[in-house]
Amino acid sequence: MSKSLKRVENALSAAGVSVQIVETPASTRTAAEAAAAAGVALDQIVKSILFQGQSGALYLFLTAGGQQVDLTKATALAGEKLLRAEADVVRKVTGFAIGGVAPLGHLSPPPLWMDPHLMGFDQVWAAAGTPHHIFAIAPATLQSLTKAVVAPFTISA
């Protein structure tokens, strides 16, 4: 089993949350692919999008699949100017490759925020560390596990 997948599994079980990680035959590298694989609405997919501040710190924005991060709003939340994190930085700091970045189980857990668009669903689906593994979780459970701050940061949120 991949180390990335194992880290997500361990993080979930350490938190005492019983969650089934599903291996998908088709790619779940993008939110659209993950929505098709899970048979759910695009906004039920949790995109784990990383930005990097001028200080070098990373910030994670858990974003509903159909939404876009508004850089101005994200910058205001982080408190410093942000740029999209480069793929190699994401890999090094989180331990996950782009397309499989999970909302938890990071090598160095970043401060994180959660899109209110995710909160209205019974369940949302997130990447489990690889582009072929996803899991379903109640958004309130994901929020309490990650200690994400729920705040609007998407375009015309």
Tell me the backbone φ, ψ of residue 42, rounded to 5 degrees.
-55, -40
Q: Does 74 sit near ligand 5CA (CB under 6 A)?
A: no
- Neighbouring C-beta atoms of residue 96, cutoff 10 Å: 26
Q: By CB under 6 A, name the one of 36, 53, 71, 99 that touches ligand 5CA.
A: 99
**String of contacts with ligand 5CA for each residue 12-41, x by CB under 6 A:** ----------------xxxx--x-------
C-beta separation of 150 from 119 below 8 A: yes
In the bound state with ligand 5CA, the residue whose beta carbon lies nearer, of 91 and 150, is: 91
Instruction: Find the binding residues for ligand 5CA in span 114-153 (CB under 6 A).
Output: 126-127, 131
Query: Would you state the structure tokens that stand for residue 112, as one six-digit string?
Result: 């994180």
* ∠ Cα 123 19 34 (to 5°): 55
Find where tokens 């909302």 sit.
Answer: 103
Q: Shortest distance, CB of residue 44 to ligand 5CA, whole angstroms?
A: 10
Q: Shortest distance, CB of residue 104 to ligand 5CA, whole angstroms?
A: 13
Q: By CB under 6 A, name the one of 58, 82, 101, 118 that touches ligand 5CA.
A: 101
Which class for 155: exposed (0-12), middle (13-18), buried (19 or more C-beta within 10 A)?
exposed
Q: By CB under 6 A, name the one of 41, 76, 83, 87 that touches ligand 5CA.
A: 87
Tell me the backbone φ, ψ of residue 20, rounded to 5 degrees.
-95, 115
Return residues touching ligand 5CA (CB under 6 A). Answer: 28-31, 34, 45-49, 84, 86-87, 98-101, 126-127, 131
